């Protein structure tokens, strides 16, 4: 055996890694080496030939984590691990359904719906059922469907006690029928369908139960009930389930995750005591203290300790740096300048992360980074593949493999505009409705009439794409689709600057270039003979990895992501931004039972991502979802002990400056004549929140002027004329 594998582990870690082939739960805090233990255990099982690559299944929480584990394993063992069942729940279920599509009653070319796609399908469904959005909000239905699927419940399993629920159940049923007809599978369906195949098909179930001797699960605290049932079914009586998790990092309760699964696992698999790891190897002392102090405010914890390793005792590291900016723009500037400082200090860009509570917050940061030419990369969320132009392009590609996909037909039948108006589209829908067929079949029927020239041209185009997809390489297929569809040309000739859309479309070709179908383990899939499978694999991957952009691979980039997406990862430097009441903790969470504690766990996850340096920042004024918000800083900042914090904001200094200004309201005569987006220095203005103020200074002319306004007791504020509502008095 390669003993170096086990070198450097502490006694508890070693015991966990070499645990006999029986069920175990490792319960331990952030940075204590759970993932390292899990990875090392796989390597050890392989190395000591207790298990083969074939007989191990490992579940991670994100695609990024799966990739990291794969590369770590490759460096630890000689075995070729490409074929190992290692991935996210969704990824593994997808693989399972590709292999057993017939048993799952799916077409071999089934497509995955991400949540945006799902929302459009639901809207379309409601329209076809003549249900107005006012009487049933699409979001409500989407939530109803997903939460039931995640609980393992079909429409037929549900009972209605009132009219509203009856309607929801009927719509759920109709939605499933529609997806089935069009060969579409949403995220929750990937899980539920796989589970049902295993449950109802004894031969398949036995095959997998015999195959997997070891099932290892990372981030176990965030499994939902269906995932747990799926795992249990796969494990059967013989597989050793090895789960690692941390109750303090459970952050998916809103999606049905159930920390109670830890207890259930122990009961179901006869685990007497969880294994514990108590040394944190990741963060310096001050960061650890901050995390421990914060999470102590939660109740009902399973209770764990985290301490520094002996060798690092007394190494507190630098204090956490706190910064309260006047606006989100200035907060972004702060992130940019500190990033540059850290780079000068020798920290690589990819070793730094900017975290935020919600995806929408990234835009301002992106702008600032872009302007400062700092390369960055966004993880998680549905960024790249969610963009309109990419969705259009993917729709063409989907039609090339599966023209029955009504969703895609509707998306691109007149995009780019080819003179097919809403009335014609309704006519096509009516024919499909009468004939109980897909839109594609309705089109086939309609084009026999010479008057329907434009529809004929669209059908010809799709058929041409189908032919291309069978004969060409993946990248060529995509290039051809962009050209033939006219999409690229459309954006090139449209008024306005569409360069980023054009870049994105081109990026899709780059994505195809770096796409390695081996990554999605096609060897087990049924490779249809029609030459379509690389494209099918690519499209599925696009849905699964939405947002995890491949382009720019190898280039060092600052890592931007939501806190949810950062789970399990670590960075030398972390910027935790947007620490404002209403944003983090989110307004929504405060109305939910247990919501605040879940937000606090999220904060705990965020803090514990940092190894050396942690910045905490907030903005007093933020433009989000088209509205300017003025917020107090987050209560989580107040929950941190003072002695681990260093206040960077110039607030104390600024307060003195404001006083000075108030005493000497001297305004330079020349500047007083200039106008800044219609405002002049020295003018009195009223702001809805800050009250009366006087414009002391201004920057930038035109519509993006920033005014420094002295609001007396409310202090000096820098407000953008674009966003702030100011009344001249």
The answer to whether 219 is a known catalytic residue is yes
Nearest distance from C-beta of residue 243 to Mg ion, angstroms: 12
Single out the catalytic residue among 609, 611, 613, 717.
609
What is the token pair recorded at 204? 């398949």
Q: Which is nearer to ligand ATP, 281 or 584 (CB)?
A: 281
Helix, strand, or coil here: 510? helix
Among 12, 17, 25, 31, binds ligand ATP (CB under 6 A): 31
650 is in an annotated binding site: no
What is the 8-class DSSP label of residue 632? P
The residue from 12, 13, 34, 549 that is catalytic is: 34
Q: Is 303 annotated as a binding residue?
A: no
| Residue nearer to Mg ion on the CB measure, 30 or 394 | 30
CA dihedral sign of residues 620, 624, 628, 631: negative
Place of tokens 């005792």: 313
Please name which of 590, 588, 724, 714 lies closest in space to residue 662, comparing C-alpha atoms: 714
Lay out the site mask for Mg ion across 29-58 (x = CB under 5 A, - = otherwise): -----xx-----------------------
| Torsion angle of C-alpha atoms 156, 157, 159, 165, degrees rounded to 10 | -70
274 is a site residue for Mg ion (CB under 5 A): no
- Catalogue the E-assigned strands of 480-525: none
Structure tokens, 659: 């006083």
Secondary structure percentages of the chain, helix, strand, coil, to 5 = 50, 15, 30
For ligand ATP, which is the closer residue by CB, 36 or 717? 36
Tell me how far apart the alpha carbons of residues 327 and 306 are, in angstroms, rounded to a whole number: 36
Is 123 assigned to a binding site?
Answer: no
Closest CA to 544 of 568, 505, 501, 511: 511
Residue 64 as a binder of ligand ATP (CB under 6 A): the answer is no
Tell me the residue nearest to Mg ion as measured from the CB: 35
Q: By CB under 6 A, how many residues form the interface with ligand ATP?
A: 19
585 binds ligand ATP (CB under 6 A): no
Q: Is 713 annotated as a binding residue?
A: no
Q: For ligand ATP, give the closer residue by CB, 190 or 606.
A: 606
407 binds Mg ion (CB under 5 A): no
CB 597 within 8 A of CB 304: no
- Binding to Mg ion by residue 608, rule CB under 5 A? no
Q: Is 688 helix (H, G, I), strand (E, B) or coil?
A: coil
Closest approach of Cβ 40 to ligand ATP, in Å? 9
Sheet of 691-699, strand order: 716-720, 706-710, 691-699, 684-687, 726-728
Specify whether 613 is catalytic.
no
586 binds, options Mg ion, ligand ATP, none, Cβ within 5 to 8 A by partner type: none
Query: What dihedral angle (degrees, nearest 10) is formed by the CA atoms of 541, 543, 546, 551?
Result: 40
Is residue 247 near ligand ATP by the rule CB under 6 A? no
Distance CA 162, CA 173 (A): 17
Both structure tokens of 422: 């809403």
The position carrying tokens 């730094």 is 352
Nearer to Mg ion (CB atom), residue 432 or residue 566: 566
- Quick note: the x/- pattern for Mg ion over 564-603, rule CB under 5 A, is ----x-----------------------------------
Out of ligand ATP, Mg ion, none, which partner does residue 578 contact, by CB within 5 to 8 A per kind? none
Q: Candidates 31-39, 123-131, 412-420, 622-630 — which segment interacts with ligand ATP by CB under 6 A?
A: 31-39
Q: Choosing among Mg ion, ligand ATP, none, which partner's interface includes residue 111 (Cβ < 5 to 8 Å by kind)?
A: none
599 is catalytic: no
Which residue in the block uniquely carries the two structure tokens 């303090």?
248
Cis peptide bond prior to 416, omega within 30° of 0: yes
Q: Is 570 in contact with 31 (CB distance < 8 Å)?
A: yes
Q: Does 578 bind ligand ATP (CB under 6 A)?
A: no
Q: Is 303 left (phi over 0), alpha (psi -120 to 50) or beta?
A: left
214 contacts ligand ATP (rule: CB under 6 A): no
Active-site residue 34, yes or no?
Answer: yes
Binding residue (CB under 6 A) for ligand ATP from 33, 138, 152, 380:
33
Q: 263 is written with which tokens?
A: 């207890």
Q: Please say if 658 is a catalytic residue.
A: no
* Smaller CB separation from ligand ATP, 24 or 197: 24
Which value, in Å, is the radius of gyration of the alpha carbons in the chain? 28
Among 30, 45, 443, 455, binds ligand ATP (CB under 6 A): 30
Q: Which of 176, 182, 189, 219 is catalytic?
A: 219
What is the binding site for ligand ATP (CB under 6 A)?
8-10, 13, 28, 30-36, 246, 249, 281-282, 568, 570, 608
What is the binding site for Mg ion (CB under 5 A)?
34-35, 568
Annotated binding-site residues for ATP read 28-35
Please give the positions annotated as active site: 34-35, 218-219, 249, 609
């Amino acid at each position: 055996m390669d003993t170096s594998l086990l070198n450097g582990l502490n006694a508890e870690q070693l015991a966990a890694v070499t645990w006999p082939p029986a069920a175990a739960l490792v319960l331990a805090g952030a940075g204590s080496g759970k993932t390292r233990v899990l990875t090392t255990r796989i390597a050890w099982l392989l190395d000591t030939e207790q298990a083969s690559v074939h007989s191990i299944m490992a579940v991670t929480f994100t695609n990024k984590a799966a990739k990291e584990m794969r590369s770590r394993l490759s460096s630890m063992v000689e075995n070729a691990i490409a074929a190992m069942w290692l991935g996210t729940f969704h990824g593994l279920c997808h693989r399972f359904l590709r292999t057993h599509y017939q048993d799952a009653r799916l077409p071999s070319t089934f497509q995955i719906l991400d949540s945006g796609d799902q929302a459009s399908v639901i809207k379309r469904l409601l329209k076809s059922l003549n249900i107005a959005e006012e009487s049933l909000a699409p979001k409500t239905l989407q939530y109803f469907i997903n939460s039931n699927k995640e609980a393992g419940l079909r429409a037929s399993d549900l009972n209605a006690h009132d009219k509203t629920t009856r309607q929801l159940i009927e719509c759920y049923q109709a939605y499933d029928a529609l997806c089935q007809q069009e060969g579409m599978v949403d995220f929750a369906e990937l899980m539920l369908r796989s589970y049902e195949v295993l449950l109802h098909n004894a031969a398949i179930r036995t095959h997998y139960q015999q195959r997997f001797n070891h099932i290892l699960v990372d981030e176990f605290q965030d499994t939902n009930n269906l995932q747990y049932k799926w795992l249990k079914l796969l494990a059967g009586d013989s597989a050793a389930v090895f789960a690692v998790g941390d109750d303090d990092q459970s952050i998916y309760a809103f999606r049905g995750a159930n920390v109670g699964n830890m207890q259930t696992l122990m009961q179901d698999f006869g685990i007497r005591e969880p294994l514990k790891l108590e040394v944190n190897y990741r963060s310096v002392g001050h960061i650890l203290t901050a995390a421990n102090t914060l999470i102590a405010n939660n109740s009902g914890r399973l209770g764990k300790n985290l301490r520094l390793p002996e060798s690092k005792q007394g190494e507190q590291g630098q204090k956490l740096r706190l910064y309260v900016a006047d606006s989100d723009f200035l907060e972004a500037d702060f992130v940019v300048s500190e990033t540059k400082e850290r780079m000068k200090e020798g920290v690589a860009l990819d070793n730094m992360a900017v975290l935020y509570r919600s995806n929408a917050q990234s835009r301002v940061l992106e702008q600032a980074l872009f302007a400062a030419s700092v390369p960055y990369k966004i993880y998680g969320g549905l960024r790249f593949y969610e963009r309109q132009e990419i969705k259009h392009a993917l729709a063409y590609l989907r039609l090339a493999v599966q023209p029955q996909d009504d969703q895609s037909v509707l998306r691109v039948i007149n995009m780019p505009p080819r003179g097919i108006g809403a009335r014609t589209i309704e006519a096509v829908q009516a024919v499909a409705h009468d004939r109980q067929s897909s839109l594609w079949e309705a089109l086939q029927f309609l084009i026999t009439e010479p008057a329907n020239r434009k529809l004929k041209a669209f059908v010809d185009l799709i058929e041409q794409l189908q032919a291309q997809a069978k004969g060409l390489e993946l990248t060529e297929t995509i290039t051809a689709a962009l050209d033939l569809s006219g999409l690229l040309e459309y954006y090139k000739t449209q008024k306005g600057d569409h360069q980023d859309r054009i870049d994105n479309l081109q990026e899709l070709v780059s994505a195809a270039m770096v796409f390695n179908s081996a990554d999605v383990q096609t060897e087990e899939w049924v490779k249809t003979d029609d030459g379509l499978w690389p494209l099918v694999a690519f499209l599925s991957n696009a849905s699964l990895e939405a947002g995890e952009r491949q382009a720019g691979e190898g280039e060092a980039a600052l890592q931007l992501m939501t806190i949810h997406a950062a789970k399990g990862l670590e960075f030398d430097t972390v910027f935790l931004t947007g620490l404002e009441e209403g944003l983090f903790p989110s307004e929504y969470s405060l109305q939910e039972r247990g919501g605040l504690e879940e937000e606090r766990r999220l904060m705990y996850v965020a803090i514990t991502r940092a190894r050396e340096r942690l910045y905490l920042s907030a903005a007093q004024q933020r433009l989000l979802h088209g509205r300017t918000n003025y917020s107090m800083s987050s209560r989580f900042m107040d929950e941190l002990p003072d002695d681990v914090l260093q206040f960077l904001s110039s607030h104390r200094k600024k307060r003195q400056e404001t006083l000075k200004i108030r005493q000497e309201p001297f305004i330079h005569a020349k500047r007083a004549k200039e106008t800044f987006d219609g405002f002049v220095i020295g003018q009195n203005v009223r702001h809805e929140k800050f009250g009366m103020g006087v414009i002391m200074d201004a920057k930038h002319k035109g519509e993006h002027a920033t005014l420094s306004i002295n609001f007396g007791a409310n202090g000096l504020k820098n407000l953008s004329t674009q966003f702030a509502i100011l009344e001249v008095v």
